[in-house]
Amino acid sequence: MITDAETSQRLYETYYMRVYSYAVTLAGNKDLAEEITQESFFRAITSRKTFRGDSDEFTWLCAIAKNLFYDEMRKRSRETDAVIPEEIPDTKTGLDEHAADKDDSFRIHMILHSLDEPYKEVFELRCFGELSFRQIGTIFGKTENWARVTYHRARLKIQERMDNI
């Protein structure tokens, strides 16, 4: 029989780097990502009895991290009127030839900044968070197919805007 301490340790060892990578994607800051990751595991471990198993553990941890990130951004916004930082573009999705050039990289940043939701977040979760379409669908409470279609529409919007700039 696995004790709670063993389950907690397994959860931490299995998912730490993936959740941290996701948090870096959200925050764009390694220190804040570390705080979010640690707090995510703390909340997951201390509320483990509330995990219903509707999604896999990684998706559950990412949802906790996402909520913590948004809570932190709302807190900072109230304190300093800060804006939620924008993420950098993915260079593995056919846009790598543009990111090599700093001007094109800036243009991609501008496009991501102006991209509507949910396209922006789905694109970032897929490219930066390296989540599967199933996991993205779960985070949004939608289907895997919805996540796949939304991601591809986001890519088309980015590529179209790149061609028009």
Q: What is the C-alpha separation between 64 and 131, in angstroms, rounded? A: 15
Decide which of 52, 80, 108 is a domain's last residue.
80
pLDDT at position 100, please?
47
Give the CATH number, domain containing residue 160.
1.10.10.10
Report which of residues 134 and 92 the model is more confident about: 134
Same domain, 34 and 101: no
* CA–CA–CA angle 144, 86, 157 (5° rounding): 55
What does the DSSP 8-state code read for residue 129?
S
Residue 144: the pLDDT is 86
Last residue of a domain, one of 80, 110, 137: 80
Confidence check: pLDDT of 99 > 60: no
Positive or negative, the CA dihedral 64, 67, 73, 78 is negative
* Percent share of the chain, pLDDT over 90: 0
* Residue 120 and residue 54 share a domain: no
- Is the residue at 66 inside a domain? yes
Tell whether the model's pLDDT for residue 94 goes beyond 60.
no
User: For residues 41 and 1, which has the higher predicted lDDT (pLDDT)?
Assistant: 41
Residues 140 and 135: their CA atoms lie apart, in Å, by 9
- Say what the pTM is: 0.47
In this prediction, residues 12-31 reach a mean pLDDT of: 85
What mean pLDDT comes out for the span 87-116?
A: 58
Q: Is pLDDT above 80 for 116?
A: yes
Number of domains, the chain: 2
pLDDT band at 123 (very low <50, low <70, confident <90, very high): confident
Average pLDDT taken over every residue of the chain:
75
| Residue after which a domain boundary falls, among 14, 48, 80 | 80
Q: For position 2, what pLDDT does the model report?
A: 37
Q: Which domain holds residue 71?
A: 4-80
- What are 44-92's pLDDT values in tens digits? 877 755 665 666 888 888 888 888 888 888 887 776 654 444 444 443 4
Q: State the chain's maximal CA–CA distance in angstroms.
A: 60
Q: How far is CA 42 from CA 36, 49, 65, 86, 121, in A?
A: 10, 13, 11, 26, 25
pLDDT above 80 for 8: no
